[in-house]
Chains A and B, each alone.
Chain A
Amino acid sequence: MQFKTVASSPFLPPSNRVSLVMRQVLLALAPGTLAAIWYFGWGVLVNLVLAVVCAVAFEALALKLRGRDPMPYIRDYSAIVTAWLLVLALPQLAPWWIVVSGVFFAIIIAKHLYGGLGYNPFNPAMVAYVSLLISFPAYMTHWVAPAPIAEHSLGLLESIKVIFGGSLVEHDLFDSITMATPLDSIKTGLTQHKTIAEIRSGAVFGVFGGVGWEWVANWYALGGLYLLYKRVISWRIPVALILALGVPAGIFYLSNPDHFASPVFHIFSGGAILGAFFIATDPVSGSATPRGRLIFGAGVGLLTFIIRTWGGYPDAIAFSVLLMNMATPLIDHYTKPRVFGQAGHH
């Protein structure tokens, strides 16, 4: 009898798929996303839908232009993950053109101009975020006040109107909807020579982070634990990132609690938890060796602390990730594991 042949072993069907990995990431993002909608309103959902539609469209367009069949790539969900992460990093009522141009940056510039999935040296969502932050700083700093302390919150239709109908700045409810983020407040307060304790007596601060923000972060952390449990991500980057952010923050906090925010505040504010579990763990642009991942995560954490404390921006996960992306080839080069049987440590 004649048989079909396979060129090379192994023949056992593979245990995993890229699309499964991406779907697990989306599933892990779900609780945090729902919490964000709960605390910060429908704008998050509207932008999410817009971003996902754009991401799929840009992905298909880019693949068509590159002469590839778009379907297998669209089915891998990677463009959707990128768009999703970008929206979670944007102000909740960012106007539609911010979202569209952000997704364009992420998918077309940061991903496909470098060769598409697997070839991008920088995290596409973070490239887009930083481009927007630098290009449109005013629009990127209008954050919605969390529901429990907001004077007014917008319904779904109103959110759509704001997002598509112009900008939040011109909206007559602007002052009653928006509020500085906790990290913003700290930065501004410190320049006004207030103590941390004085700043943290403001309404926006919660138990250990900001009102609402801290709970969104908790749900992200839950999703992150799911990814760890499913072994979609390795523990090395999140643990190293949180330690490298928390330990220096703790040292400075203990040395001068009036002037430096507590490590818990650092970890549960801004993009730290989302960054630790979902952004810095992007495999394509991060280190792939075990020791390299510790260094990569620690680098992101430490840079975030430094930029937050002494830099010009209130948060710094995006900058830190991009800076460490640059260092990735170097890190990988110097962190080759010891090959079986080679002399060295055991």
Chain B
Amino acid sequence: MMLGKFHGGLKLPGHKTLSTLTPIADLPPPARVVLPVRQHIGNAAEVLVSVGEQVRKGQKIAAAAGYVSAPVHASISGVVTAIEDRDVPHPSGLQSLCIEIESDGRDEWTDALPEPWPDYREIPDLELRNRLRESGIVGLGGAAFPTSVKLNPGEKSPIKTVVINGAECEPYITCDDMLMREHAAEIVSGIGVIQHLLRPERVLVGIEDNKPEAIAAMRRAVQEVGEGGIEVVVVPTRYPTGGEKQLIKVLTNQEVPPHALPADIGVTCHNVGTAYAVHEAIVHGRPLIERVVTVTGNGIEHPQNLRVRIGAMFSDLTRHAGGYSDAASYLIMGGPMMGISLRHDQLPVIKATNCLLIAAETEIRPVNDASACIRCGDCVSACPVNLLPQQMYWYARSGDYDKIQEFSLFDCIECGCCSYVCPAHIPLVQYYRHAKNEIWQQEKRARKTDLARQRHEFRQARLERQQREKAEKLAQKRAALKAATGNDEARKKTIEAAMARAEARKRKLAEEKAASAADRDRLSSSDGDSD
């Protein structure tokens, strides 16, 4: 098979064997879990339970709100002890609404668990999609986009190729690798469900060539339980091959245009972990309440992969992995190229948590040692989107946000290749993120200003209309007066009428004055009473 190639990219130190020496271990059900109602792209789920309520494992505790949303399920059995804002693993550092459950130690499944559908082919598509939606499945590669939406592309854009992403290109992360080694059959079964729903011409499973065990396991599973039309494709290890658009390019040699979705070119992409979750939901009727997380880095005693309940605290995972080593300095959720750096470990595992990297000082780039850009162009060679990072940096620094958009700022996938190769150690991606935020803020402000201007223009128009009407009235009056000139009788009448009006006004004014004086008197006397 002829593979496509994207521009740039990097060979990175893998650090993968740190965490692949032992099989996936089970983290025992934690004593409490914290479940954010928003763990996915789209609307936050709506809370269905209240504090003090008994819940059981697999019970839906928050419902999807709108089409692009996903429900949240209790990942242990116990009692809801809080529904409030808590710290969540998000780069903003802001809190977000969470449901806390304290375990009753029984770890019992809910009775309302949907029935297993091993023969899902006899179930109507609509019901299958509903089941996936109700199971809370989102993309487990890190983006956390609701899977049911991607599995319902509509008549307009039929899916010809399904890409299954097992590339796992970021250093340190091995959860997909281990899942493929140990659960290839389940993944392939999940792929079967996706095939059944989308009826694509082919399914391409892309795995980087640094995972020979996973490749062998997946090939075996495809032969044994695959439905046909599935091909496991070995792709070169090159970061960021696991990026959706990059993997599609490598596997199909097609490029997804900027601002377009893969579905627009007849492709959809799902992570291997997502395929596994699809299998669990359809074949076993289990909603998404657990996932595999890599706990790794030189800051942890026993790096490994753990199968953990969603909502388990990071500290539960790190304790199970032997605790922190003396070198532990940084906590990163996700990989070292695109993850987020977090301040503390009292944060819950969410559906998108694929890796906890507990890094020593030496594993992390030094801060504040940037020097001037020497325009060496290494970033240009490394950029997988073929941008000109050094030009964008220039405009980001000078705040020229029109110019930076001419250089396709919003096509930047923030993969970090440019920052990694920069000999001047400039944190380029940080500049681009800042510029993007600034532009979004400006657009927001511009929308507000537009609204204000509209209001102002309406008011202006109203005032003008009133003035015009007044002028017209005056003109009419004058015309009437003019018509009356020469007719002494009428003129006299008009004058008398005007005098009468003036008299009436005077009288009215005097009355009002008297009335208000009376009021004043009453007020002051009542003041006196109250003394």
Contact = CB atoms under 8 A, between A and B. Distances in A.
A14 B421 contact: yes
A177 B433 CA distance: 62
A10 B375 contact: no
Interface in B314-353: 315, 324, 328-332, 334, 336-345
Contacts of B105: none
Interface stretch (B187-195, B203-211, B363-371): B363-371
Interface residues of B, number: 71
B3 to A, nearest CB: 14
A2 to B, nearest CB: 5
Contacts of B324: 1
Interface in A235-257: none
Contacts of A12: 12-13, 171, 336-337, 363-365, 416, 420
B279 interface: no
A18 B424 contact: yes
| Residue among A15, A20, A116 with the highest chain B CB neighbour number at 10 A | A15
A14 B7 CA distance: 20
B365 A339 contact: no
B29 interface: no
B475 to A, nearest CB: 61
Nearest to B315: A1
Interface in A97-135: 116-119
B126 interface: no
B373 interface: yes
Contacts of A336: 388, 407
Contacts of A118: 371-375, 424
A14 B365 contact: yes
A325 to B, nearest CB: 12
A312 interface: no
B245 A6 contact: no
Interface stretch (A59-67, A208-216, A282-290, A302-310): A282-290
Interface of B: 6-7, 12-13, 171, 245, 249, 255-258, 260, 315, 324, 328-332, 334, 336-345, 357, 359, 362-367, 371-378, 380-381, 384-388, 390-391, 407-408, 411, 414, 416, 419-425, 427, 429-430, 433
Interface of A: 1-18, 20-21, 72-73, 76, 78, 116-119, 234, 283-284, 286, 288-290, 293, 332, 336-343
5 contacts: A9-B340, A9-B414, A119-B372, A340-B6, A341-B411
**8 smallest beta-carbon distances between A and B, as pairs:** A10-B416, A118-B372, A8-B430, A16-B423, A283-B376, A3-B331, A340-B385, A5-B341
Given A3-B345, A5-B330, A73-B371, 13 more contacts: A1-B345, A3-B342, A5-B342, A6-B341, A11-B357, A16-B423, A119-B372, A290-B380, A337-B387, A337-B388, A340-B7, A340-B384, A342-B258
